[in-house]
């Protein structure tokens, strides 16, 4: 009889590595891009484009990562991801030209594919199967603190050691903290039977009657990822364009972190009492309401930001738990890898689309684009809920 890995050890370990995986990649340009531009003279937009390039690379690599986790477990994948992040971050710190800077982001992107949520969720799904929901939710609690911890930390380190020193520090964190946690805490193999079934393709990845459901889920998660990336990039410019001071905009933006974590705590406490698809419905409703309030009731922007943060917070949980609930643990790592392609590419492209909208029509057009995406996503989520409800009734 196999003993499941101790959640009291595995979850905090993955949670800590998620903080620094997100903080040193997705959130890195937010803290360092102005400093890099001032120091090097490289165009600001191309500096920020580094993370988009990394996300594109991560999306392309995501299916291979999912298959590898299915075949060998998460331990070697996450450990390799930490090494790749360390190499890429060191490359950013050593970059002497824009070309070498962007090349380093390609390496970071490979590391992102093997260390961010999708890889962590797949690892937890392989270890705990259908009981992974609570573990996934708890790991996202840690991940939600990435910007709250790493933005001030990056600013503090940059003040004393420069932006290059920040990159070297995060590279060292990957070697000294993330690598040993992944290698020594995670088991050598998890749910080997499930891995063997998926790896050898003894069962089809999707049955014929599941393709529509999977396509709908992929569309929902892709739009949610686009919303996350668009808002994460353009929220502060939208607020300042609407007349708020920079300091007030930053203060309101700081509401996002607590709102995300608070919503995830609620999900952790009561989530097991209902179908995980309802978490996705709640996320879509909250985000759609927030977008409408930003567009039509701007004086209520603090409420809108809190609602958006809460919706995004539980949306990250749904991203990991709904595929597990709908398709089971055996196929979960491979399907998460497939879903990751569109998710990460959407996160890479959405900021550019938002930037074009902002340049063309300012904050109003950007919010119209955001409201349109959130409305479409809400319709698709309701359709997904209806299909899963029908399937349950017919089963």
Model confidence pLDDT, tens digit, residues 140-160: 889 888 877 888 898 889 999
At 132, is the pLDDT very low, low, confident or very high (cuts 50, 70, 90)?
Answer: confident
Largest CA distance in the chain: 63
At 82, is the pLDDT very low, low, confident or very high (cuts 50, 70, 90)?
Answer: very high
Residue pointed to by tokens 């899963």? 388
Q: Which residue has the higher pLDDT, 86 or 6?
A: 86
CB atoms near residue 56 (< 10 Å): 18
- Rounded average pLDDT over 317-340: 89
What b/e readout covers 355-388, taking b as 16+ CB neighbours within 10 angstroms?
bebbeeeebeebbebbbebbeebbebbeebbebb
| Helical ranges in the chain per DSSP H | 7-23, 28-40, 44-72, 74-94, 98-113, 117-128, 133-143, 146-173, 179-185, 192-200, 211-241, 246-253, 256-270, 276-296, 301-327, 332-394
Query: What percent of the chain lies above the pLDDT cut of 70?
Result: 94
**Intervals of CATH 1.20.1250.20 along the chain:** 7-200, 208-394
pTM of the entire structure?
0.84
CATH H-level superfamily of 208-394: MFS general substrate transporter like domains (1.20.1250.20)
Between CA 224 and CA 70 the distance in angstroms is: 25
Between CA 81 and CA 383 the distance in angstroms is: 36
- Dihedral angle sign, alpha carbons of residues 127, 130, 312, 8: negative
Whether the Cβ atoms of residue 98 and residue 120 lie closer than 8 Å to each other: no
7-200 has which CATH code? Answer: 1.20.1250.20
Would you say residue 166 has pLDDT above 90? Answer: yes
Q: Which residue has the higher pLDDT, 198 or 257?
A: 257
The pLDDT score that the predictor gives to residue 395 is 52
- Rounded average pLDDT over 174-195: 79
The pLDDT score that the predictor gives to residue 78 is 96
């Amino acid at each position: 009889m196999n003993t499941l890995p101790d959640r009291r050890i595995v979850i905090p370990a993955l949670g800590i590595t998620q903080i620094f995986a997100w903080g040193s990649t997705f959130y890195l340009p937010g803290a360092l891009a102005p400093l890099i531009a001032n120091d090097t003279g490289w165009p600001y937009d191309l500096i920020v484009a580094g993370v988009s390039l990394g996300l594109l690379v991560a999306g392309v690599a995501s299916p291979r990562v999912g298959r590898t986790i299915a075949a060998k477990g998460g331990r070697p994948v996450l450990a390799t991801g930490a090494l790749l992040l360390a190499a890429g971050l060191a490359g950013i710190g050593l970059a002497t030209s824009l070309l070498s800077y962007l090349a380093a982001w390609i390496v970071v992107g490979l590391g992102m594919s093997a260390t961010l949520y999708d890889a962590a969720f797949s690892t937890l799904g392989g270890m705990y199967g259908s009981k992974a929901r609570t573990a996934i939710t708890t790991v996202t609690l840690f991940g939600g603190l990435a910007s709250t911890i790493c933005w001030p930390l990056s600013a503090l380190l940059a003040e004393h050691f420069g932006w290059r020193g920040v990159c070297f520090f995060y590279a060292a964190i990957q070697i000294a903290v993330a690598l040993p946690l992944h290698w020594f805490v995670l088991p050598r193999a998890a749910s080997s039977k499930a891995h063997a079934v998926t790896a050898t393709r003894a069962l089809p990845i999707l049955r014929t009657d599941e393709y529509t459901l999977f396509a709908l889920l992929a569309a929902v998660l892709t739009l949610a990822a686009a919303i996350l990336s668009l808002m994460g990039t353009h929220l502060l410019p939208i607020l300042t364009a609407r007349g708020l001071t920079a300091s007030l905009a930053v203060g309101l933006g700081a509401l996002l972190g607590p709102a995300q974590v608070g919503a995830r705590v609620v999900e952790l406490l009561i989530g097991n009492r209902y179908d995980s698809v309802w978490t996705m419905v709640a996320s879509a409703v909250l985000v759609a309401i927030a977008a409408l309030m930003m567009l039509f009731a701007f004086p209520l922007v603090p409420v809108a930001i809190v609602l958006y943060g809460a919706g995004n917070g539980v949306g990250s949980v749904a991203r990991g738990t709904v595929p597990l609930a709908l398709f089971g643990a055996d196929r979960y790592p491979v399907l998460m890898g497939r879903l990751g392609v569109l998710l990460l590419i959407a996160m890479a492209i959405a900021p550019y689309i938002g930037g074009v909208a902002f340049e063309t029509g300012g904050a109003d057009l950007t919010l119209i684009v955001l409201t349109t995406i959130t409305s479409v996503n809400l319709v698709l989520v309701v359709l997904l809920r209806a299909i899963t409800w029908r399937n349950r009734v017919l089963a």
